Amino acid sequence: MAEPVQPPMLETRDLSRRFGGLTAVGGLNFEVRLGEILSLIGPNGAGKTTVFNLISGIYPPTSGEILFQGQSIGGLKPDRVRRRGISRTFQTLRLFDNMSVLENVLVGYHSRLRSNLIGDMIKPPWVTRAEHEAVERARSTLEALSPRLLSRQEFRAGDLAYADRRLLELARALVSEPSLLMLDEPTAGMNPTEAAEFMQRINRIHADGYTILLIEHNLGVVMGVSHRIVVLDYGEKIAEGTPEEVRQDERVIEAYLGRKATAT
C-alpha cells in the first residue's frame, strides 16, 4: 500500500444531513485516499448508507462539503456524479430486472456515451461504432468478473440467481471504469463461502487499480480487505484507523462490537 502522499480521492468536510429533527449524519470528516480500500462500518442506523446517498447525489447535504478529486460535488445530481467517475452498488439490489444481463451492463456504460435523439434514429457510423465499443466493453467486463455471467448475457436480469445478481450489479458499476467504486453491503445475504469468494473478488478489483469505499456488516470481510476503517455511530465518526487500531479502540468495542455481542 502506497503512502498517502497524493491528495485524497474523496473528502468530506463537516458533512451533515438532517431529516426533520433527526440528524442522520452530523459533522462528518473523512477521506478516501487514492488506491485504498476504505470501509465504513457502524451499527444499524449509524448513517452509513446516508453517507453513500449524499456522495452519489440522491439528496443534497444539509451542510458541509464533499470534494471529489479536489472539486466540490455536494448537491450535484446523481447522473453528474456518475459522469465525474463515482459508481455505486446498492444494499438492496436495484437491477433493471426486465432487461437482459447485457443491457443492464450497457446502461451502466451510459455515462460514457453521448446520445441524442437524431443520432439514435439515423444511426450514423460513429454512433454505431460507439455502440459496438460499448457492447465490447460490457462483455469484457462481464467476462473478467464471471464467465458464467457472460454466457448468460441474454438472460433476463430478474431470472438470475442471487449471487449472480450481486455480480451483475458490480459489473454495471465497474463498466464505466469509475475512479471511485462504492459498494453498499455487497455480501448481504451471502453465505460464508460466497462472502469469502466476494472478498477475493474485491481484492482482484482493487489490484486492477480501483479505489474502493465499502460499507460492510460482515466484520470478517471488513477486517480482511480494508486498508483503513472509519467507524460511525449516530451519524458521527467515533474512530478511524487500520483494522488493528479499530479492533482495539474502546469506543468501537463499546458502540459497535459490544452492542452486537449483547444482541446475539
Contact status: 155 vs other proteins (CB under 8 A): no
Task: Name the strand (E) or helix (H) holding 237.
Answer: strand 236-241
Report in angstroms how near the CB of residue 123 gets to other proteins at its nearest.
8
Contact between 98 and other proteins by CB under 8 A: the answer reads yes
Cβ closest to other proteins, residue 106 vs residue 225: 106
Nearest to 1 by CA among 247, 225, 215: 225
Q: Is 79 in the site for other proteins (CB under 8 A)?
A: yes
Q: Which of these ranges, 102-110, 147-155, 228-236, 243-251, lies near other proteins under the rule CB under 8 A? A: 102-110
- Write down the least CB distance from residue 168 to other proteins, Å: 13
- Report if residue 176 touches other proteins, rule: CB under 8 A: yes
Binding residue for other proteins, selected from 8, 26, 108, 186, defined by CB under 8 A: 108
Residue 75 in the binding site for other proteins (CB under 8 A):
no
The yes or no reply on residue 128 touching other proteins (CB under 8 A) is: no
Binding of residue 210 to other proteins (CB under 8 A): no
Q: Which residues contact 124 (CB under 8 A, 6 or more apart)?
A: none
- The residues that bridge with 258 in the sheet, in sequence order, are none
Decide whether 117 or 261 has the Cβ nearer to other proteins: 117
Among 39, 49, 111, 218, binds other proteins (CB under 8 A): 111
Query: What is the size of the binding site for other proteins (CB under 8 A)?
Result: 35
**Judged by CB under 8 A, does residue 68 bind other proteins?**
no
Cβ(217)–Cβ(188) below 8 Å: yes
Contact 228, 36 (CB under 8 A): yes
132 touches other proteins (CB under 8 A) = no
In the complex, the smallest distance separating the C-beta of residue 210 from other proteins, rounded to whole angstroms, is: 17
Name the residue among 201, 254, 208 with its Cα closest to residue 224.
Answer: 201
Contact 106/140 with Cβ under 8 angstroms? no
3-state secondary structure of 95: coil
Instruction: Tell whether residue 67 is a contact of other proteins (CB under 8 A).
Output: no
φ/ψ (deg, to 5) at 227: -85, -40
56 binds other proteins (CB under 8 A): yes
- Nearest alpha carbon to residue 88 among 3, 185, 215, 182: 182
Question: Closest approach of Cβ 212 to other proteins, in Å?
Answer: 17
3-state secondary structure of 179: coil
Stretch that binds other proteins, among 11-19, 43-51, 95-103, 200-208 (CB under 8 A): 95-103
Closest listed residue to residue 185, CA positions, set 260, 116, 90, 62:
90
| H/E element, 40 | strand 37-41
Question: Closest Cα partner for 100 from 166, 53, 168, 50?
Answer: 168
Which residues lie near other proteins (CB under 8 A)?
Answer: 56-58, 77-79, 81-83, 87-88, 90, 94, 96-99, 103, 106-108, 110-113, 115-117, 120-121, 123, 131, 134, 172, 176
